[in-house]
Amino acid sequence: MADSIAVTLGAGSGIDTKALVSSLVDAQFAAKTQALTARKETLTAQISALAQLKSGLTGFSAALGNLISGGSLSTQPVSSDTSTLGVSLLPGASITGLSANVEVRQLATAQVVNSAPVADSSAAFGKGTLTITLGALTYSGNTPTGFTPKAGATPVAVVIGDGQNSLQGIADAINAAKAGVTASVLTDATGSRLVVKGATGAEQAFTIGVTEDASAPGLSALAFDTGSQTMSLTRKSVDALVALDGVEVRRPGNSISDLLTGVKLDLVKAAPGQTITIGTSAPTAALSQAVADIVETYNQLIGIAKTETNTTDGVLRNDSGARELMRQLGGLTNRNLNSSAAVGEPSTLGELGVRTNRDGTLTLDTAQLQSALSKNGAAVERMLTVGLGSALRQISIALTAPTGPLTASQTGYNRLQTAIAKEQEKIEADTTTLRDRLTRQFSGMDARVSAYKATQSFLDQQIKSWTRSA
């Protein structure tokens, strides 16, 4: 209604009352709108700056955490012959003073059996039930002579019916049964054959018993147990044999993580009579680079914080969360990062050559760092992988926790953002109300002026008429 009235405003008075209403409304709220816009822009900058600081802090902590968990900052085990025995550090492990001799006497293998070849892998083969049982087999040559079922293992019956009684269908049915073995069809120039393979280890051998369907015989060609061996044995299932410092042990697989604390052994090949030495290699270069990277990352983060908290024009100059972040980071170089340090061992970043400058940034004395690494490499490793990682996590959690200073600042800014949005809504509502009121007032005025003009015109005509009559 107000718009339709406004279109006709000024028709009686001749004044552009629509423009006049807009000017009056704008003048009424211009100062409030301008102040609100300025507050909104400042708040947006504050929220963005705080988010950047929060992201930088959590990113700093996470990056160091990933570096530590990757193991590159930890002393690594080394093998004197990686072509026979590979070694690696287990996640989260720490090793010191490692020295061992290992002999790989036998690799663990998995039992493999295969059927006689047939011309067509999709042709009907037979129906009935295959019963697969895991356990330990004894042999005379390649013939199984005894079987001891694996403790806790339950025989699995694989029913072969219509639609499954081809060689490929039987392989699919065995795999679907999840009996601890895998089956496949191998095809070459001689035809197709069923290949069944177990897991490595002496107790992961298996037997295949067959109960044929008399109406569709043929499944007995897949038997392999102590009573019937129509399948051929390709490989026996045996344990790995490893001698650790002369003591022989058995394991079911070729990856062994429970012989040397913190170290995984990967058996590559058997080498009876060959002794392989396992020692350690200190990550001196990686630790040195890590300290340099920490100093660089710290300086980037503290540089952002200094800019945003600048007392002259920093958008976070009055933010308590940002100031607390700078305070806690500022104390990092003198924080004890090696609580178990022995006499003479470093326990702070300052003792590694990390210095705090007057402007709050850090510099690194590389000569002092190299001296610390050469004299107390293990202590430096503990400081970075345990102490510093823990310290950064604690700082990050304390500042960004639900009740932490950075979170409190963020919550405060969010409240202000909501308040500004409500103020903006009120100004818009008040603007509409004032515009409607002025439009109605000027509409009434214009109507009265138009009436006055009509009366004036009538009187003018009457006067002119009287004058002519006289």
Residues 305 and 407 in one domain: yes
Residues 153 and 226 in one domain: yes
Phi, psi of 334, deg, nearest 5? -105, 10
Residue 199 lies in a domain: yes
The CA distance from 306 to 297, in Å, is 14
What's the predicted TM-score (pTM) here? 0.67
Residue 133 lies in a domain: yes
Residue with tokens 């809504």: 425
**Which alpha helices (H) appear in 207-356, and where do they start and end?**
284-308, 320-330
Residues 230 and 255 in one domain: no
Residue 159's DSSP bridge partners are: 129
Residues 59 and 170 in one domain: no
What confidence score (pLDDT) does residue 240 get? 97
What confidence score (pLDDT) does residue 9 get? 47
The CA distance from 229 to 116, in Å, is 11
Residues 314 and 267 in one domain: no
Residue 190 lies in a domain: yes
Which run of H or E residues covers position 437? Answer: helix 405-469
Residues 217 and 302 in one domain: no
Element counts in the chain: helices (H) and strands (E): 8, 18
DSSP category for residue 138? E
What confidence score (pLDDT) does residue 235 get? 95
Kindly list the averaged pLDDT for each block of 10 residues, start to end, along the chain of length 470: 45 60 67 77 85 86 83 89 94 84 97 92 88 94 90 93 89 95 94 95 95 90 90 95 96 95 95 95 90 91 88 86 87 88 89 91 93 90 87 87 86 83 77 73 66 71 73
Residues 194 and 182 in one domain: yes
CA 230 distance to own-chain centroid: 51
Residues 260 and 375 in one domain: no
Residues 248 and 182 in one domain: no
Residue 178 lies in a domain: yes
Residue 269 lies in a domain: yes
The CA distance from 113 to 396, in Å, is 57
Single out the residue of 209, 267, 177, 197 nearest to residue 237, CA to CA: 197
Residue with tokens 């025989």: 155
What confidence score (pLDDT) does residue 4 get? 45
Out of 396, 411, 426, pick the residue that ends a domain.
411
Residue 440 lies in a domain: no
Sheet of 255-260: strand order equals: 85-89, 263-267, 255-260
Residues 103 and 252 in one domain: yes
Task: Tell me which residue range forms the domain holding 290.
Answer: 40-71+284-411
State how many domains the chain has. Answer: 3
Residues 125 and 153 in one domain: yes
What confidence score (pLDDT) does residue 250 get? 96
Out of 394, 411, 428, pick the residue that ends a domain.
411
Residues 58 and 139 in one domain: no
Give the CA-trace dihedral at 125, 131, 132, 136, to 10 degrees. -120
Residue 15 lies in a domain: no
Residue 296 lies in a domain: yes
Which run of H or E residues covers position 80? Answer: none
